[in-house]
Structures are given as structure tokens and as C-alpha cells.
Amino acid sequence: MDEVLVSAPAKLNLRLVVGPVRPDGYHPLRTLMVALDGLCDDVVVRRAGARSVACPGVAERDNLAWRALEALEGAVGRPLPVHVEITKRIPAQAGLGGGSSDAAATLVGVDRLYGLGLGPDRLEEIAAAVGSDVPFFVRGGVRWAGGRGEVLAAADPVAFAAVLVKPPVGLPTGAVYHTFDRLGVPPPDDGATRAPSMPRLAAWVRNDLWPAALALAPALGAPARALAGAGARRVLLCGSGSCLAGLCDDAAHARAVAERLPPAVRPLAVVEPVRA
Ligand code: C5P
């Protein structure tokens, strides 16, 4: 085997409960993460003489896939030269986890290509050194995440569809968390562990970073109102933004909402949870 292709899906946080900043600068989270069908990057990992990462619009060494390769080589203690080629569809600074998903796909791809036999548990450990969201994408599916995002636990399947809208503004994760710190602590976590089905899911979702994202980018208000006006049951900020998800009952409802959006608010994708 000289080459493997790994699909790198986007994710949505159906709940993102954020606590006060820790001494290490990270925030404790309790979040329900869902890998999405309908929006993914493609990651091809090829045997090569030296390490390289090709990804339009991202400098090679800034790419989380590059950092993933460094972390993997450090963990196994030998060079694993590969060429990684990433076809991007998931926008950056959108809160959809695109860079993290590419990094996890790279780890999975190199494990397979070199027959390392590390498996998901070990890959999740290595992924935690690359970024808070990277461990989730090693397995994907639906998972509760704690810690700074890297402590994963099983979750029940969820059913919904969503229209994603990517406003022109991008939001850097660190800046959103810093603004969160200025805005005061959100209400306590109710400890819910089971997501209800739609339409009750629409009332259950929560993203504590929304006030911070809106304070940094008031332009998010107009597309959020447009999604609600087009019939989405609830509008949810994706991760730390800036992408917005209009939650819908099913794919047909989501496609109808996408069609009703005003011309200035172009849908990015209609998505559903990845099926197990
Ligand atoms: O872990 P990652 O590199 O993806 O995090 C990017 C930035 O987001 C961190 O430097 C930190 O400012 C913020 N962050 C946070 N709490 C988390 C995850 C990320 O404050 N749980």
C-alpha cells in the first residue's frame, strides 16, 4: 500500500458548556460533538522520501496535519516520511473543526499506511498534543468531550439535519475565548447527558460562546436572523464560530430552509450526523 485516502468530516457541538479559564489558559468544557455527513475535507497520505503537506491557503508548517506528523514521529521514535495532500471544503475559522479533522485523518492515514497498529486509543493520546479538538476526530461519531476537549466519552446517537451558513467574517478560537472571559460566567451546567430528538433538541442545544462571538462580530446577527426567518427551528453557533447552523427536523426540511434563505445568505452545506 502506497497511498490511503481518509475522509475528514466537519463537526457540530450540539452543547458547548464552558467554565471559567484554568491556570493553563484553557477553558474546561462539557460538549456534545457530532461528526457531520455532508461536509468533509479529503486527506490523501502517500509514502514519500521526505515530509510534505500540500493544502491550498495554509502554510505547510502552520497546518495541524504537519504538527500531527511531528507528534506521531515523536511518539513512535522514528521518521515516517509521507506526502499529505488535503482537499479543503471545510472553511477555516468557522468552528467546524476542519484543521483538527485533517490532523486526525493524517494520524489515522499514517497509522494505516505504515501498518503501525497504534489503534484509536493511542492515536487519541497523540492527537491531544496537536489540539483540543483533534482526539474527537480519530473516531468521530457522537461523543461527549470534557477537559479542554480531549477527554472523550460515549454518547447516544442523535438525529437532526442542519443548514450551515458561513458568514464572511472568520473568528480565531483564542480571541473568542478571551472575549468569553470578559463577559462573565454563563448559567451552571444542568448535567444533561442525553440529547432529546427534534424538535425538542432545538430547545436543548446550547453554546456558551455565542455572546462572545456576537460581541466580536456583530455581523453574525443578520445571517442568524435569516436562518430563523427561513424556518430553522433554532440557530446555533458552530464551536467558536463563525459558522452558524440552522437546526432542522430532517434533510428535506433543511433543504427547504436553504432554499428560502435570502440571496445575501448563501448556504454552505446541508448536513446530518455521520451514520455509525
Ligand atoms: O487546543 P487548540 O490549539 O485548538 O486551542 C486554541 C486556543 O483556543 C487556545 O490557545 C485557547 O486560547 C483556546 N481554547 C480554550 N479552551 C479550550 C480550547 C481552546 O481557551 N478548551
pLDDT tens digits for 20-78?
A: 999 999 999 999 999 999 999 999 999 999 999 999 999 999 999 999 999 999 999 99
Residues of the chain with pLDDT under 70: none
Could you tell me the CA-to-CA distances from 14 to 52, 194, 195, 210, 252 in Å, in that order? 35, 11, 9, 13, 20
What pLDDT shows up at residue 276?
75
pTM for the structure as a whole: 0.97
Ligand 1, atom 13: closest residue by C-alpha: 174
**Closest Cα to atom 10 of ligand 1:** 174
Q: Is 11 a catalytic residue?
A: yes
Q: Find the residues whose C-beta lies inside 6 A of ligand 1.
A: 25-27, 29, 131-133, 148-149, 173-174, 177
Give the per-residue pLDDT at 1: 80
Other beta carbons within 10 Å of 191 = 7
* Average pLDDT value over all residues in the chain: 97
pLDDT score, position 184: 84
Q: Determine whether 249 is an active site residue.
A: no
> Could you say which of 11, 37, 41, 166 is catalytic?
11
Output the pLDDT for position 51. Answer: 97
